[in-house]
Structure 1
Amino acid sequence: MRQTLTSCVRYRAGVDGSVALQVLDLVGIFVFGITGALVGVRKKLDVFGIQVLALVTGLGGGFLRDVLIGATPPAALADWRYLAVPVVAGLTTFFLHPGIGRVERLVNVFDAAGLALFCVTGARKALDFGLSPLSAALLGTISGIGGGVVRDVLSGRVPVVLRSEIYATPAFLGAGIVVLADSAHYDAAWVTIAAAAVCFAIRLLAIRRGWNAPLPRVP
């Protein structure tokens, strides 16, 4: 009887963890979809162009993550909600976007939020698939920056991660917190939230204070 109850508790914990991970994943897709759509608005694209940027920004990082860890078909293709969420984000932004003068600031805020959500969910999913701590942290970083890179390339911008701005570092720190907590066998929900908050705060501080990565010395 005790063994049965223990098995039920473990199964329930796994189900709850999976649901929480999926919810965070969808929220991250929605937030990143908004950033892609806002970039499209700023570039004066039509509704189709805005939707394309919303889709690739919202799904790019997660798609790459799932392919690399062997979670095929990727969630973006296996579940209709993963396609519907960025479409809703794109349409919402198309109809309700603020004045063009405020778009850039909103892009930065939503991009930081998407980066934070995706780095922790990417690391968490990588750990669930048995990757090593370092590999999981790296994959969490890739999950966070992947969609933004595709968005910037399609919109004719140099990807943020290739500029001197502090971008990948906050994602790696957020993913690292999740990985370290897992290595210590501590799997509380607030750890994931705290890791996302750390990534979000550092990224916004880097934007506000102009923190940049080191550049090569020019003679």
Structure 2
Amino acid sequence: MIDVSNVSTINRKKSENFFGTATTNLLAAGRRVGVRHHVALSVVGADRVNWGYYAGKRRQEKLVLDGAVPATVLRSTQFYELAAQMLATIPGPIAVVPQMLMQPIAAHEVANCLVDLALADPTGRAPDIAGPQQLRMSDMARRLLRTRGSHRLVLPVRLPGATGRAMAGHGLLPTGPCPRGTQTFDQWLASPAAQNDAGRTR
């Protein structure tokens, strides 16, 4: 079983409730039907960035790793698609995006890694997976908008407190040797995946 369930929220309580409930139900169902390997996707930096969404991911990880079904948890850096998703939620001529330093990766490369892990023996915490380059969210957003012919202004803003410092610093980066994706952000921008939601970012 591969668990990539998700919720769009930065509210700590909503994130913990969602991942707690969803994971508990999936683990119980897996035990009933004899699932021999539960693979869950999490986020690099979930244990270092005290953000509401990541609190839910930490809860998910604990439930999976402490559960009765043999399991593997893969932490991935953010997908390239995150830039488009952020732009799509911000209307108007100015796109305010958080200051984030990341090492993003193509979603299809993470999907391939999840399948490989699911076909292998459970390992608990698998090595993190990250993309080939460190990038800032503001730079990704500007490059994506240029690719799509948009003249929107991108304004990076640091989130307050320790969370903002961690995101703008090294909190979202892998901390040691780990598998790397090979598709660069420029290559992704030229791919069909980058054009799927083109109209939503203008």
Bin the TM-score by the shorter chain: under 0.3
**Please, what TM-score do these two structures have when normalized by structure 1?**
0.25
Q: Which one has a larger percent helix, Structure 1 or Structure 2?
A: 1
Q: Which one has a larger percent strand, Structure 1 or Structure 2?
A: 2
**Please, what TM-score do these two structures have when normalized by structure 2?**
0.26
